[in-house]
């Protein structure tokens, strides 16, 4: 214990006795402490009078004066009177409470009835005003009333009818335009995302890649986006996302994954249809891309870079009907400034109603390009998607049955051939073989229109259907001649040749 805190404490001598007197307050051990507080030892008896018993002394009873009695009877209230007063007050309070409750109930009922009557009157008035807007002739052209039959008193009746018509004309009200309160409330990007994000999926596929420099091959992975077009598991994406791929898998908004099967594709429009065994999925709504105008807002949802899942970007329609050429094919697209990156391919482009109006295609974007993105209009592929789901391919497309390559001007000059489409291979029993075409021939015109590239040849073939006859101008064995070909129906099949820089038509 610190002695500085208790300066009055003295040190003990050698025998252990304290040099100080006995402490003023003796602290008992816990077992000896009393539970009752110590009573004060001071004597207060002198402040009180002694009390004597009845036998020892008889006190004289004080008699109140008349004034005191009158005061008591007039002012003071006995306990009986007080209890009676309390009962009376309680009864009054209870009665008042019941009366207030009844009044409140009646007021509520009356207010409700009054409000209903007011609403009914306002509805009738609004209906009358609406009718006056729809049929103004009923209010702006009053009917003359009070016209009497011609007789001896016809003069007075005529005056009365004139006055009535004047009053009717003055009382005619001007039609009032009533605002339509049933107009749809515009949706925000947040509203649309919450509604449709679960209809978007991520798509991955294993791709066999090769290193042309060292002649090695290895397995890579292609990643893109897609969207659910039916609740029983059909999914639409870009064909270049799954082209040549295997082990296709789709990832859903809730984090689950499923294997997918490639049902069919349309290389010309760069679309592919996948199928999973899932059911009761949240399918998106397909809109009308023909209603798009420059300046309309579009929202893109997808998986940019293959890792930023379900990212929302927004922009406006920058242009319509852009013809983009790639890999000897051309696709009509609309342009937008919404961000579309690698991994967004195959994802949906929504309008502000939450309907899909396009397919985002990052294939036509580049890291050096800023604010230029492209989407395939959904109307251009609706029929193709229906055919793929039903038949596995797009029906009615014409097929010549040849694998071709563009013969450039420099190559044509070197090999002393005309510019055109060089036939690399001819399919067995194909329309081209039946017409007498063979490897090494050069197609220079289709239907009388000169073609110098594969893309131009394909554009001309789009004018025909399967089973149609068309005239090809072909350079064969050093001679240019015309050949009539009856086209077949184009069904996706294995490539006719191992060359990677040719195109089947």
Residue with tokens 């009365």: 160
Q: Is the dihedral of CA 406, 410, 416, 419 positive or negative?
A: positive
- Ordered DSSP codes for 167-231: HHHHTPPPP-PPP-TTPPPPPPHHHHHHHHGGGEEEEEEEEEEEETTTTEEEEEEEEEEEEE-ST
Is 345 catalytic? The answer is: yes
Tokens matching residue 144: 């003359």
Nearest Cα neighbor of 373 from 343, 341, 351 is 341
Of 314, 345, 403, 430, the active-site residue reads 345
Q: What is the DSSP letter of 337?
A: -
Question: Among 240, 362, 403, 441, which one carries the catalytic annotation?
Answer: 240
Q: What is the DSSP letter of 363?
A: G
Asked if 468 is an active-site residue, the reply is no
**Catalytic site includes residue 270:** yes
What is the distance between the terminal CA atoms of the chain, rounded to a whole angstrom? 106
Backbone angles phi, psi at 90, to 5 degrees: -65, -40
Q: What is the DSSP string of 418-482?
A: -SEEEEEEE-TT-HHHHTT--TT-EEEEETTEE--SHHHHHHHHTT--TT-EEEEEEEETTEEEE
DSSP-derived secondary structure for 47-86: GS-----TTT--PPPP---HHHHHHHHHT---HHHHHHHH
Catalytic site residue from 270, 387, 441, 504 = 270
Percent helix, strand, coil in the chain, to 5, is 30, 30, 45
Q: CA 182, CA 375: separation in Å to the nearest integer?
A: 34
- Consecutive H or E run containing 140: helix 137-140
Instruction: Please give the radius of gyration of the chain, using alpha carbons only, rounded to the nearest integer.
Output: 51
Residues tagged active-site: 240, 270, 345
């Amino acid at each position: 214990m610190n002695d500085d805190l208790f300066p009055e404490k003295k040190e003990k001598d050698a025998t252990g006795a304290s040099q100080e007197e006995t402490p003023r307050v003796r602290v008992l051990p816990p077992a000896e402490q009393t539970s009752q507080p110590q009573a004060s030892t001071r004597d207060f008896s002198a402040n009180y009078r002694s009390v004597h018993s009845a036998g020892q002394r008889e006190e004289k009873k004080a008699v109140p004066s008349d004034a005191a009695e009158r005061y008591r009877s007039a002012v003071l209230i006995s306990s009986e009177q007080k209890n009676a007063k309390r009962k009376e007050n309680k009864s009054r309070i209870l009665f008042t409470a019941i009366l207030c409750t009844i009044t409140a109930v009646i007021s509520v009922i009356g207010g409700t009835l009054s409000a209903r009557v007011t609403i009914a009157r306002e509805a009738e008035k609004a209906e009358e005003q609406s009718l006056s807007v729809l049929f103004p002739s009923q209010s702006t052209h009053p009917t003359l009333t009070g016209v009497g039959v011609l007789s001896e008193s016809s003069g007075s009746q005529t005056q009365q009818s004139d006055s009535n018509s004047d009053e009717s004309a003055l009382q005619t009200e001007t039609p009032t335009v009533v605002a339509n309160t049933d107009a749809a409330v515009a949706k925000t990007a947040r509203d649309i995302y919450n509604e449709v994000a679960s209809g978007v999926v991520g798509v991955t596929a294993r791709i066999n890649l090769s290193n042309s420099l060292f002649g090695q091959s290895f397995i890579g992975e292609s990643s893109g986006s897609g969207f659910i077009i039916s609740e029983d598991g059909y999914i639409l994406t870009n064909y270049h996302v799954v082209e040549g791929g295997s082990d296709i898998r789709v990832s859903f908004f809730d984090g689950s994954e499923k294997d997918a099967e490639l049902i069919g594709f349309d290389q010309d429009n760069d679309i592919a249809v996948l199928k999973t065994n899932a059911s009761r999925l949240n399918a998106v709504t397909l809109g009308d891309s023909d209603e798009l105008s420059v300046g309309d807002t579009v929202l893109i949802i997808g998986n940019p870079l293959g890792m930023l899942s379900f990212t929302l970007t927004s922009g406006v329609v920058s242009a319509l009907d852009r013809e983009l050429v790639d890999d000897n094919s051309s696709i009509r697209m609309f342009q937008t400034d919404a961000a579309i990156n690698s991994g967004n391919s195959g994802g949906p482009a929504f309008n502000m109603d939450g309907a899909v109006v396009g397919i985002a295609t990052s294939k036509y974007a580049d890291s050096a390009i800023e604010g230029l993105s492209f989407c395939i209009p959904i109307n251009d592929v609706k029929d193709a998607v229906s055919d793929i789901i039903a038949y596995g391919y797009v029906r009615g497309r014409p097929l010549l049955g040849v694998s071709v390559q563009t013969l450039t001007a420099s190559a044509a000059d070197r090999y002393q051939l005309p510019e055109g489409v060089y036939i690399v291979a001819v399919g067995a029993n194909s329309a081209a073989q039946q017409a007498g075409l063979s490897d090494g021939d050069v197609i220079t015109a289709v239907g009388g229109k000169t073609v110098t590239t594969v893309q131009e040849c394909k554009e001309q073939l789009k004018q025909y259907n399967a089973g149609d006859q068309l005239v090809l101008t072909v350079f064969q064995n050093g001679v240019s001649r015309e050949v009539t070909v009856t086209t077949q129906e184009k069904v996706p099949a294995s490539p006719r040749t191992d060359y990677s820089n040719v195109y089947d038509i």
